[in-house]
Amino acid sequence: MTGMQFRSGSEHIYPQSGLLTPSWRNMTDSANRFKLIRSGALVDGTGGPVIERAAILIENDVIRAVGAEREVRPPDGADVSEFDYPGQTVLPGLVDCHVHLIGFGDGRSGDELALLPDEILTLQAARNARVHLDSGVTTVRDCGAKNRTTLMLRDAVNLGIATGPRMVLSGRPLAIIGGHLSYFGVQATGVDECRAAVRQLLKEGVDFIKITATGGSTRTSFPFLPSFNVEELKAICDEAHSLGKHTAAHCTSSQGIANAIDAGVDTIIHAIFNEPDGRRVFKPEIAERIAERGIYVNPTLMAAGFGAGGRVELLEEKRASDGLAPDEQASLDRMYRTRDEGIAEYVAMREAGVTMVSGSDSAWSHLKMGRFQAELEANVSSGMTPSEAIISGTSDAAKSSWIDDQVGSLQVGKKADILVVDGNPTTDIRALSNVVDVFQNGNLVERHNLP
Ligand SMILES: [Zn+2]
């Protein structure tokens, strides 16, 4: 057997990943235990009021105090490294709750991506991790990779071989036979295989279970139809929850969304209301149930054609320079339609009370790593205020990734993952891209790979 497919009673006994304790080797780089960061303004990531002339006191990797500059004082006699950003805004490091670290962002399909050997994909994941960190994203939730590639990357980071954001990992997504992303290594059938697959992944060190609850772009899958039945989905969710982990499900059909709600999924990804024949028909009652259950939705607006670097922009650029062939124009028109339908569903879900969490889906398909801010801009152009978009890409994204006890807000006791930008992103979201400095675990990141 090739090692590519999951079978219950599997002979693949992967050792558990994540056994390596993070060394955060940079912790010893700076002589001082305390750091004091002063800034012109501070945005805490939870929607609290902007603090003018603010300061953060960090002890090693943890925030010890946050507030007005005059109120935040290091202990008497302590040696303190000081950082001054008088004209800048300080925020929590960004949390991208949907990435694919092994992707290339060059338009290749997942079917093509999966043909690359694990060693190449792991190196690509290392490059992407670095690019995303340097762009201001200090935490990612990876929603599906081939075999153990991302788990090995995290071990490499913990060993000090590579650098990257904090990683919440799913490892291989759970798919039905031939289902979306099934080429990444797990195909499960029936309740027992589903439970066994969850146990196997958790043994290997994953933090959550990614499920493809409908088909998707995968050649052998059906994007407008559910994949697992509700019993299988329930078994996956129950098993994950009983072991203290959460689930996130890719859903591009209304029935798939309904099944995911019934099964107890924690995050619904894409949440596209497709009928089996591909028509989009928004179902308010489904949106209400998502809201009632407190399930997060990650709408992946850039993947739906919004924002810089997406396929819409590429075709618009070509139209301006060389003009478009009739089939390209038709494809662009289709994308405009899809985008408008996406905005309508996004607005309606928010009106129903659904919490939208930002995740870029990069570097899937055409989506380049290091441009998470464009996803936040897309949220603003679809109706969020800049402050709401910041929450969706910090504290709410962290909550949906079950890592909000550590990151996502500038609060006492949280890890000192901090983003410094020029300008005021609460009035102009584009200021989030004017990255000045990034701190991770209290250490200034040496940024080399600017997108
Ligand atoms: Zn994805």
Give me ligand 1 centre to Cα 99, in Å.
Answer: 6
Residues in the chain predicted with pLDDT less than 50, given as ranges, are 1-13, 23-30
How many Cα atoms occupy the beta-carbon half-sphere of 30 within 13 Å? 20
pLDDT of the residue at 445? 95
Quick one: which H or E segment has residue 296? Answer: strand 296-298
Could you give the strand order of the β-sheet that contains 166-169, starting from the edge strand earlier in sequence? Answer: 94-99, 137-142, 166-169
Give me ligand 1 centre to Cα 409, in Å.
Answer: 24
Q: Look up residue 43 and give its two tokens.
A: 């945005």
Give me ligand 1 centre to Cα 250, in Å.
Answer: 7
Instruction: Report how far residue 302's alpha carbon sits from residue 366's, in angstroms, rounded to the nearest whole number.
Output: 10
pLDDT of the residue at 245? 98
Helix, strand, coil in percent for the chain, rounding step 5:
35, 20, 45
Distances (CA, A) of 96 to 129, 142, 252, 362, 402: 11, 9, 20, 9, 13
Using omega within 30 degrees of 0 as the cis cutoff, is the peptide bond preceding 363 cis? yes
pLDDT of the residue at 216? 92
Give me ligand 1 centre to Cα 98, in Å.
Answer: 6
What are phi and psi for residue 333, nearest 5 degrees?
-60, -40
Give me ligand 1 centre to Cα 88, in Å.
Answer: 33
Give me ligand 1 centre to Cα 142, in Å.
Answer: 8
The CATH number of the structural domain formed by 28-92+409-444 is 2.30.40.10
Give me ligand 1 centre to Cα 344, in Å.
Answer: 21
Q: Is 272 exposed, middle or buried (0-12, 13-18, 19+ CB in 10 A)?
A: buried
Give me ligand 1 centre to Cα 412, in Å.
Answer: 32
Instruction: Report how far residue 88's alpha carbon sits from residue 196's, in angstroms, rounded to the nearest whole number.
Output: 50
Instruction: Report how far residue 141's alpha carbon sits from residue 245's, in angstroms, rounded to the nearest whole number.
Output: 13
pLDDT of the residue at 331? 87
Give me ligand 1 centre to Cα 89, in Å.
Answer: 31
Among 54, 134, 58, 127, smallest CA distance to 86 is for 54
Domains 28-92+409-444 and 94-370 share a fold: no
pLDDT of the residue at 310? 67
pLDDT of the residue at 315? 86
Give me ligand 1 centre to Cα 19, in Å.
Answer: 26
Among 35, 29, 153, 27, smallest CA distance to 100 is for 153
Instruction: Please answer whether residues 213 and 189 qualify as being in contact, where contact means their C-beta atoms are separated by less than 8 angstroms.
Output: no
Instruction: Report how far residue 431's alpha carbon sits from residue 373's, in angstroms, rounded to the nearest whole number.
Output: 9
Tell me the pairing of strands 435-440 and 418-422.
antiparallel
Could you give the strand order of the β-sheet that contains 208-212, starting from the edge strand earlier in sequence? Answer: 208-212, 246-251, 267-270, 296-298
Distances (CA, A) of 42 to 49, 139, 159, 389, 404: 9, 19, 33, 16, 19
CATH 3.20.20.140, applies to 94-370 = yes
pLDDT of the residue at 20? 54
| Domain definitions of the chain by residue range | 28-92+409-444, 94-370
Instruction: State the DSSP code for 97.
Output: E
pLDDT of the residue at 31? 55
